[in-house]
């Protein structure tokens, strides 16, 4: 196809948008709503997964060291813990630090009960954090085998709950997102089919005078691309506004953020570029493909 012919077909695509502006506007609205539904679902899933990961990273495993272990052996134990592939943070917490912290939380009456104790009853410990909470049980089992370890305290029940929540949320949001994509494609195809049906005489006349299928399809394809780009831009703007306002609302209460793990909410600026690209690609493909598929039905005359 020559360049002049291609320019003409592109121009015809923009012209078709204006002459069929009612149908084009309807397609634009449907496309925008469809993108918003899919985009919000994906962003919600992304944030929930991130929040669960943030909560997981706070879980501490306490390694109690046997009483009377020499300092050099305590250091060796710390090095062994650091070499565990699932451990990303190791902190030593001496018995003196633990006793001082315990006394800070005591009332005066409670302190009086312990004032005659000649020896600190608390052990030295290591507090570690794991990278993958789903491997917590295996990691604890490996640590318990190390020399100089008295016992290991880990939040196994809480870890299992988090793993279950994470798995369920992943499956749920994947199913919801896939369903929304299918529904959006069907809705957009039907909307485009109505627009194409209204212009079926124009298509039939062009076919009877010898126009090729690609010659007829390109203007409709251009219309679909333009609608996809516009709807992606509108959906991105609405998402940016809504997401930012919700983020500000949660950010006003720091305590609530810490309790529920909402401090792991991702600022929109950190995902704005990826969101814009995803909206553009999904909008263009969905709209353009839906338009071409609906157009081809009327080409075989």
Give the model confidence (pLDDT) of 234-269 as tens digits.
Answer: 999 999 998 888 777 766 654 444 544 455 577 888
User: Is residue 98 scored above 80 in pLDDT?
Assistant: no
Token pair belonging to 115:
């004032």
Q: What is the pLDDT of residue 218?
A: 74
Residue 199 has what pLDDT? 67
Instruction: Give the integer Cα–Cα distance in Å for 117 and 147.
Output: 29
> In whole numbers, what is the pLDDT of the chain averaged over residues?
75
Residue with the bigger pLDDT between 272 and 173: it is 272
- φ/ψ of 127, rounded to 5, equals -110, 120
Yes or no: say if 53 and 169 are a contact pair by the CB < 8 Å rule: no
Query: Which residues partner with 83 through β-bridges?
Result: none
Q: What is the maximum span of the chain, computed from C-alpha positions, in angstroms?
A: 107
Question: Which stretches of the chain are DSSP H helices?
Answer: 3-19, 21-58, 71-82, 95-104, 108-114, 136-144, 156-198, 200-208, 213-251, 254-260, 268-296
Q: What percent of the chain has pLDDT over 70?
A: 67
Among the ranges given (136-140, 153-157, 189-193), the one the predictor scored with the smallest mean pLDDT: 189-193
- Higher-scoring residue by pLDDT: 78, 114: 78
CA angle in degrees (0–180, nearest 5) for 103-129-258: 70
Fold designation for 60-154 = Alpha-Beta Plaits (3.30.70)
For the whole prediction, is pTM greater than 0.85? no
Residue 148 has pLDDT above 80, yes or no: yes
Structure-model confidence comparison of residues 117 and 265, the more confident one: 265
Domain with CATH 3.30.70.3040 in the chain: 60-154
Report the alpha-carbon distance of residue 78 to residue 232 in Å, rounded. 52
For the segment 277-283, the average pLDDT, to the nearest whole number, is: 86
- The per-residue pLDDT for 236 is 92
Name the residue with tokens 């814009």: 276
CB-based contacts of 257, cutoff 8 Å, min separation 6: 250, 251, 263, 265
């Amino acid at each position: 196809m020559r360049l002049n012919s291609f320019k003409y077909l592109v121009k015809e695509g923009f012209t078709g948008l204006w002459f069929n502006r009612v149908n084009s506007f309807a397609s634009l609205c449907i496309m925008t709503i469809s993108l918003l539904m899919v985009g919000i679902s994906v962003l919600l899933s992304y944030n929930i997964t991130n929040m669960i990961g943030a909560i997981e990273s706070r879980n501490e495993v306490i390694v109690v060291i046997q009483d009377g272990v020499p300092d050099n052996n305590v250091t060796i134990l710390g090095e062994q813990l650091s070499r565990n592939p699932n451990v990303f943070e190791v902190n030593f917490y001496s018995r003196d630090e633990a006793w001082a912290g315990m006394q800070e939380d005591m009332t005066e009456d409670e302190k009086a009960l312990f004032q005659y104790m000649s020896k600190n009853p608390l052990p030295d410990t290591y507090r570690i954090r794991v990278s993958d909470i789903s491997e917590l049980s295996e990691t604890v089992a490996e640590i318990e085998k190390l020399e100089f370890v008295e016992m290991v305290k880990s939040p196994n029940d809480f870890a299992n709950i988090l793993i279950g929540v994470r798995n369920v949320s992943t499956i749920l949001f994947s199913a919801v997102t896939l369903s929304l994509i299918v529904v959006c494609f069907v809705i957009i195809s039907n909307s485009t089919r109505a627009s194409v049906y209204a212009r079926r005489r124009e298509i039939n006349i062009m076919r009877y005078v010898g126009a090729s299928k690609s010659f007829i399809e390109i203007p409709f394809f251009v219309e679909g691309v333009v609608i996809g780009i516009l709807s992606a831009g509108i959906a991105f703007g609405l998402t940016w506004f809504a997401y930012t306002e919700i983020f500000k609302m949660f950010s006003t209460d720091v305590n609530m953020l810490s309790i529920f793990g909402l401090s792991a909410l991702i600022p929109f600026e950190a995902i704005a570029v990826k969101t814009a690209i995803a909206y553009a690609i999904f909008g263009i493909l969905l709209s353009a493909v839906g338009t071409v598929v609906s157009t081809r039905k009327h080409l075989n005359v």
